[in-house]
Amino acid sequence: MTRVAEAGGRRERNYRQYCGLAAALDAVGERWTLLVVRELALGPRRYSELLADLPGIGTNLLADRLRKLCELGVVRRVDSASGGHRYELTDTGESLREPVRALARWGISLLGEMPEEATVRAHWGFLAVEAMANAAQMPEVRETYEFRVDEEVFHLRVVNGAASAVRGPAEDPVLTATTDAATFARIGAGALTPIEATATGSLTLTGDPGAVLRCSAILGLS
């Protein structure tokens, strides 16, 4: 059962349960809220950038979600050197990174084939790699894989059984994967294998052939 409370003239629901999960859902469980956090996990964003990368949210709803996140201390608004302002995660917001990553990891298995009307963004590939990467099974591997997904470039650094995703090009990658956002999403969802994507030309892999197998294993694509 939820309780509807008045807060600053707004009607907000809460679960009225003394439980950490219920408290978390009271704070960030509303529709679109964690997707706003997802976008800001990639760095500070302007309001217009958030609106563009959250198709369907509507400007009033985005403003409401940002206001609530700022009130909670999850997000702050900062002045930009070029004028205007941007939104960024606070330390409290940054602590949501791992829960969001874990939810994304769990949700990838639910995706299936991509519907024609679905929206996909290149930078979501970075978050997918963060969520999927598990290098613990290969503690001996020390190498870097670069991904070029449409206009987005990022790399995965694997050292001593730990993997970290970093935006931007790698200095000396053993493998470079070049593809589009839709293909990358379908591969991550298991709807398309890297071999199938390579055969159709929608994925290009350059570098050490052995690294393809190691990278696939680390990303759970084997």
- The secondary element (H helix, E strand) that includes residue 157 is strand 152-159
Secondary structure class of 109 (helix, strand, coil): coil
* Cα first-last separation, the chain: 43
Q: Could you tell me which residues come within 8 angstroms of residue 11 by beta carbon, excluding any fewer than 6 positions away?
A: 4, 5
Q: Are 148 and 179 in contact (CB under 8 A)?
A: yes
Secondary structure class of 141 (helix, strand, coil): coil
Tell me which residue has tokens 């907000």. Answer: 12
Give which of 216, 133, 103, 39 is closest to 111, Cα–Cα. 103
pLDDT at 13: 74
pLDDT at 12: 67
Domains of the chain: 3-108 (1.10.10.10), 124-218 (3.30.1050.10)
**CA distance readout (Å), 134 to 110, 116, 200:** 19, 30, 27
pLDDT at 117: 86
Rounded to 5 degrees, φ, ψ at 115 are -65, 150
Rounded to 5 degrees, φ, ψ at 155 are -140, 160
pTM for this structure?
Answer: 0.85
- Give the pLDDT means over successive 10-residue stretches in the chain (222 positions): 48 84 94 96 94 95 97 94 90 95 90 88 91 92 97 95 94 97 93 94 96 94 78
**CA distance readout (Å), 153 to 29, 37, 57, 86, 126:** 31, 21, 26, 22, 8
DSSP 45: B
Torsion angle (degrees, nearest 10) of CA 162, 153, 44, 56: -110
Q: Could you tell me which residues come within 8 angstroms of residue 43 by beta carbon, excluding any fewer than 6 positions away?
A: 88, 167
pLDDT at 11: 55
Other C-beta atoms within 10 Å of 90: how many? 15
